[in-house]
Amino acid sequence: MKPRPLARTGKPLFPEAPLEQRAVTGALLTLLEQSSAMPATLSTRVSRAIRMAILNGSLHHGDRLPSTRSLAADLSISRSTAESAYAQLEDEGFLGRSVGNGTYVNAVPARTTPERKKSITDDPGALSLRGRRIDAMGACVDPRETRAFSAGMPALESFPLPTWQRLLARRLRQDGEQLLHYGDQQGLPELREAIASYLALSRGVDCDPGQVIVLTSSQQALVLVSMMLLDGGDKVWMEDPGYRGAQTAFSAAGAQLVPVPIDADGMRIGLALSAAPHARMAYVTPSHQYPLGMTLSLERRLQLIEWARREKSWIVEDDYDSEFHYDSRPVAAIHGLDRHERVLYIGTFSKVMFPGIRVAYLVVPRTLVKAFVAGRSQIDGHTSPLMQAVLADFMNDGHFMAHLRRMRELYRARRDIFLEELHRHAGRTLLPQPMAGGLQAACLLKEPSSHDAGIALRAREAGIDLPLLSGLYLGPQKQHGFVMGFSALTPASIREGMRRLAPILRSDRVR
Ligand SMILES: Cc1ncc(COP(=O)(O)O)c(C=O)c1O
């Protein structure tokens, strides 16, 4: 059979591809970032992703794959890695290769390997379409330990555990049995009140506690938003690069993601308006764009609100780490500027308290509260009443604001040390983007030809995490570099991490 062309040479692996195929490209890149415990080589990970794309039907019998040269360029890996991934799949019978026809997908081989026997994707009918999309995108993975330079982690050693312990014991003494019951599906009223006052005071969010829904995480908020507001094929404006948790939640719902480039003022609303004027939703991280770090300008905020009013579209404002601005006060939330109830505001305690707390919140327009609480009750009922009660006390007794102030000082100092050390050890290779706040910095590779994935792999072998910036893009135009966390690292571990990273970056330069 004559192979049908799939990817043109020099273009991304799955150009203008349907959702599942684009998701595979993203999954391929993010595999490098996932589970550092996974003892697999880069070529094994690449071959596994291609194998999965074949098994779940994203790649078909006869589809032609790019040359090893193109694959290597698209994924920023070395050509020998691409070659060994293809050779492995040829060995297993998934791919055929011939002079003239290049590399193409074979009929799925009858011979099954032990790994394939274990996989649900062997039976394409086993999962729903939604399940297959989720399976192809893979798990959202968060760092489980503190190490250089995992992104987005707070300084857990500085959390006031004795205070938390005291408040926990007090609550259990006072309301022990009550807190063992099922709780309010919308969230503990005391905590909703504490959140609403905090938001009014610190973020300019004008809401009453009746609009606050307490959830387990921002991720859950994104899933709930998708479940309640998106139908298959709905268009969503997405910052590009952007937060992968949002990309996967909306994609799982069958939405069509519209990548919108970013400049120094944040999402380019003008481009979004021409690409998809009637989109159903826009997802933004306006106070501190994830991952590049800029603030969405006031003019663009107003443009966004005006568009949402006109089109009756929704703005999802993810304010995940706005509390940490180091050089000036953070700009007030879009929510406070909107007079038309088009904004859904997401906040999380993962960064300002600790990720294990599993408490976040969503502020919704009044008209949506009832439906959203019903939706939330279907996912998992409610968040732990005990955690909510202790958190409410922590906020009401003044510990929360004090903790925030201390952490802001600590992170500012760590950011300064991080930048100094980066300049000293990696200044010839990496260019940190301006960072007024946040827990991580996007650091671009100065030489566009540098292999970000290869560097990340070698860094991982040396015990250093370098989350890839390129894995966060939806569109083909990518910048290459790393999203490097600093907030959880003591000055000594920042220095030690940079010292170990320097020779890896140097050896890439001389390749
Ligand atoms: C933009 C953004 N939103 C949300 C989160 C995570 O919040 P949660 O742990 O509540 O899901 C992160 C974590 O890095 C993030 O970068």
What confidence tens digit (pLDDT) does each residue in 291-342 have? 999 999 999 999 999 999 999 999 999 999 889 999 888 889 999 999 999 9
Band of residue 114 on the pLDDT scale cut at 50, 70, 90: very low
Segment 43-81, tens digit of pLDDT: 777 777 787 676 655 677 777 788 888 787 767 677 888
Angle at 420 between CA 417 and CA 424, to 5 degrees: 135
Estimate the crossing angle of helix 129-137 against helix 244-252, to 10 degrees: 160
Residues in the chain: 511
CA of 107: how far to CAs of 52, 64, 104, in Å? 14, 13, 10
Centre of ligand 1 from the C-alpha of residue 246, in Å: 9
Contact (CB, 8 A) for 457 and 409: no
**Interatomic CA distance for residues 426 and 420, integer angstroms:** 10
The yes-or-no verdict on residue 15 having pLDDT over 90 is no
Centre of ligand 1 from the C-alpha of residue 320, in Å: 6
Q: Single out the residue of 133, 392, 418, 376 nearest to residue 254, CA to CA.
A: 133
Q: What is the pLDDT of residue 58?
A: 64
Give, using CA atoms, the residue closest to atom 7 of ligand 1: 218
Q: What is the pLDDT of residue 18?
A: 40
Band of residue 141 on the pLDDT scale cut at 50, 70, 90: confident
Find where tokens 């292999």 sit.
451
Contact (CB, 8 A) for 487 and 411: yes
Q: Is 339 exposed, middle or buried (0-12, 13-18, 19+ CB in 10 A)?
A: exposed
pTM of the model: 0.81
Band of residue 238 on the pLDDT scale cut at 50, 70, 90: very high
Instruction: Return the best residue to mutate from 350, 352, 469, 483 for the ligand 1 pocket (most ligand atoms within 8 A of CB).
Output: 350
Q: What is the pLDDT of residue 43?
A: 77
CA dihedral 232, 233, 237, 238 (to 10 degrees): 60
Residue 42 or 312, more confident: 312
Identify the DSSP state of 106: P
- Please indicate whether residue 68, judged by its CB atom, sits closer than 6 Å to ligand 1: no
Instruction: Return the best residue to mutate from 141, 215, 348, 359 for the ligand 1 pocket (most ligand atoms within 8 A of CB).
Output: 348
Angle at 507 between CA 504 and CA 508, to 5 degrees: 90
Strands (E), 446-502: 481-485
Average pLDDT over residues 101-106: 81
Average pLDDT over residues 77-96: 79
Give, using CA atoms, the residue closest to atom 14 of ligand 1: 152
Contact (CB, 8 A) for 346 and 313: no
The yes-or-no verdict on residue 377 having pLDDT over 60 is yes
- Backbone dihedral angles phi then psi of residue 427, each to the nearest 5 degrees: -60, -25
Range in 6-15, 126-135, 306-315 with the lowest mean pLDDT: 6-15
The yes-or-no verdict on residue 104 having pLDDT over 60 is yes
The yes-or-no verdict on residue 14 having pLDDT over 90 is no
Task: Please tell me the number of Cα atoms within 13 Å of 101 on its side-chain side.
Answer: 15
